[in-house]
Structure 1
Amino acid sequence: MQDDLTLIIDDAQQTMQKAVAHLEAELLKIRAGKAAPSMVDSIQVEYYGSPTPLSQVANISAVDARTITIQPWEKNMLQPIERAIIASNIGLNPQNDGIIIRLFLPPMTEERRKELVKRVNGEGELGKIAVRNIRRDAIEAIKKLQKDGLSEDEARDGEANMQIMTDKFIVLVDKHCQQKEKEIMSI
């Protein structure tokens, strides 16, 4: 029974780590005024009938702080890439010159910065919800173990460990969000 309890707690911890890693990936997509190739990582392009990540059909680079260039490996991919960027709704209009696609990032206004901070806080809240849901599932599994013969003290200790771990991951989520907010608000 003790092994099962340890397994539940370890599994919950790994899942919480994945939730925080997902939050980090989502926060990378939110631009903080500087052009970064990671801003277009989530874009899927129609490549010979199947959706393919943009990074697998083109070379993506940030030439300066406000410009991302996308150079497809096949010239016939310019139009599908352009359509995918427009459809992705990332707020950037592609400029196609027949060879490469350029994405120009407009300067950040105070209003836009506040909007991005709201988005960061929304992602942070989703991360916290994920962590809390993992805690809830783990505590339910511990209670089920208790019905199957785990002692009450061990179950209580397991639940306490889950709460401590949850608090630690919630603080980590807050920390990531605060760092991103600071990055966005700095001019």
Structure 2
Amino acid sequence: MSDDFMLDTDDLQRRMDGAIASLRTEFASLRTGRASASMLEPVMVDAYGTKTPINQVGTVNVPEPRMVTVNVWDKGLVGKVEKAIRESGLGINPQLNGTIIMLPIPELNEERRTQLTKVAGQYSEHARVSIRNIRRDGMDQIKKAKADGMSEDDQKVWESEVQDMTNKYIAMIDEQLETKQAEIMQV
């Protein structure tokens, strides 16, 4: 009866990959002192009566290492895009030039760098919690199969496989956190 138990490791791995992808997106939104188009991804503009991602109302470019520009397609939205950037909490002061909004990226001071490393740590901890929750789901499936008659040896093999997968993904998170913190602290 239990010999046909197959844990869907592909599903667990897909979900863990999703947690890593989410972490990368959160890390990309952290400002490191260098201009990046991805830092504007979380900014939502109140356009046409709905919240719209900034990249759907204009073109985001990085013409210089310390400058991001947004070329707004609809002149009527320039003020709303500017307001959305000001209220986003990115700490950037937009400058208007017709339909182009220029965002000079200031140097980060030591205090702000330290704050950003703590934020990066929080993001990575959320990712670790997600990985552990996925691990728990896998372990629950194994326990259910054990209750349905799976042998103890099979249970140990499956649990070991899920734990190995979890350890691999936690190590990936730690490695990415270390890289991001080094990038943030680089002057």
Query: Under a length normalisation based on structure 1, what TM-score does the superposition of the two structures give?
Result: 0.93
Runs of 5+ in structure 1 lacking a partner? Answer: none
TM-superposed CA distance for 1:79, in Å, is 1.1
User: Which residue identity is paired with 1:19?
Assistant: A
Deviations 1:122-141 (A, max 9, x none): 11111111111110111011
Aligned residue pairs total 186
Change over 3 Å in CA distance of 1:147–1:23 after alignment to 2:
same
Given the alignment of the two structures, is residue 132 of structure 1 paired with residue 136 of structure 2, yes or no? no
Given the alignment of the two structures, is residue 22 of structure 1 paired with residue 22 of structure 2, yes or no? yes
User: SS at 1:6's partner residue?
Assistant: coil
Provide the C-alpha distance between the structure 1 equivalents of 2:127 and 2:45, rounded to a whole number of angstroms.
Answer: 28
Matched-pair identity in %: 38
User: SS at 2:60's partner residue?
Assistant: strand
Q: Is the 8 A contact 1:5 1:142 kept in 2?
A: no
User: Which of 33-42 and 150-159 deviates more?
Assistant: 150-159
More helix per residue: 1 or 2? 1
Q: Is the 8 A contact 1:5 1:158 kept in 2?
A: no
TM-superposed CA distance for 1:50, in Å, is 1.8
- CA RMSD, 1 decimal: 1.4
Provide the C-alpha distance between the structure 1 equivalents of 2:11 and 2:31, rounded to a whole number of angstroms.
Answer: 33
Partner of 2:93: 93
User: SS at 1:88's partner residue?
Assistant: coil
Query: Under a length normalisation based on structure 2, what TM-score does the superposition of the two structures give?
Result: 0.93
Partner of 1:165: 165
Partner of 1:113: 113
User: SS at 2:59's partner residue?
Assistant: strand
Runs of 5+ in structure 2 lacking a partner? Answer: none
